[in-house]
Amino acid sequence: MKRAPKQDEGVGRGLLLFLVFYLSGFVFRSVLEHFRLQQFEMPLLETGFYDVLFVPLAYMFSDRLFCLEYWEIRSNWWIGVVVCVAIQIPISYSFRTLPRPPVAVMVGSVLVAPFVEELIRAAMMRPLIARYGDVWAIALTGFLWACIHEHFWIALVQQCALSAVFIYSRKSLPSAIAAHVVMNLAAVTLW
């Protein structure tokens, strides 16, 4: 008798992971305030370095993301990078009048955020793709990620592009992470 494939991820699990990721920032900020440690808020929270704590949580929610099939570098990896840079350049030029963020925030947005956010995005998208298809998975994850970023409408375009890169690179995490790194690098260098 054949066993049914393991159904370890459902749409609810992926969305729960995203919700935990989102709400943890408020909890972390409250804990720092409670213990009067606000001076650590910027180096830990604003830079995104506390996001690294979500790597084991992403594994708990979707251990398949750590299998070789998601870590292959596909031959079309560069297409997502080009698309994301093409989207980011005009956005960056439109924000040149705003003050530059601190250097630590820029470093965290290039080195930490892409890795962690793409792991969580992949954990969210796998069950959404299976249940609703590519277009709805892109739309829903793009919308949710845009909600937690500044400048919603701009972030919506960026997040939908990053979600599409994950899908159309045949679920290659290195491709999605590279596109996210280059997009954020363009954002902080062209600011």
Whether 159 is in a domain gets the answer yes
Q: Is residue 119 part of a domain?
A: yes
Q: What is the DSSP string of 64-106?
A: GGGSGGGS---TTHHHHHHHHHHHHHHHHHHTTTSPPPPHHHH
- The model's pTM is 0.89
Domain count, the chain: 1
Tell me the C-alpha distance between 145 and 64, whole Å.
Answer: 22
Give a yes or no: residue 184 inside a domain. Answer: yes
Local structure of residue 2 (DSSP, 8 states): P
Q: Is residue 90 part of a domain?
A: yes
164: domain range? 11-67+75-190
Indicate whether 87 belongs to any domain.
Answer: yes
Asked whether 67 and 122 are in contact (CB, 8 A), the reply is no
In a domain, 21, yes or no: yes
What SS3 state is found at 18?
helix
Q: What pLDDT shows up at residue 3?
A: 42
The answer to whether residue 2 sits within a structural domain is no
CB atoms under 10 Å from CB of 1, counted, come to: 2
The whole-number pLDDT of residue 25 equals: 87
- Taking only the tens of pLDDT, the chain with its 191 residues reads 444 445 445 888 889 999 999 999 899 889 999 999 988 888 888 888 888 888 998 998 888 899 999 999 988 889 999 999 999 999 988 887 878 888 888 999 999 999 999 999 999 999 999 999 999 999 999 999 999 998 999 999 999 999 999 999 999 999 999 999 999 999 998 87
pLDDT, position 11: 87
* pLDDT for the residue numbered 9: 58
Rounded Cα–Cα distance for residues 164 and 99 (Å): 30
Q: What pLDDT shows up at residue 2?
A: 44
pLDDT score of 1: 46
Per-residue pLDDT at 128: 94
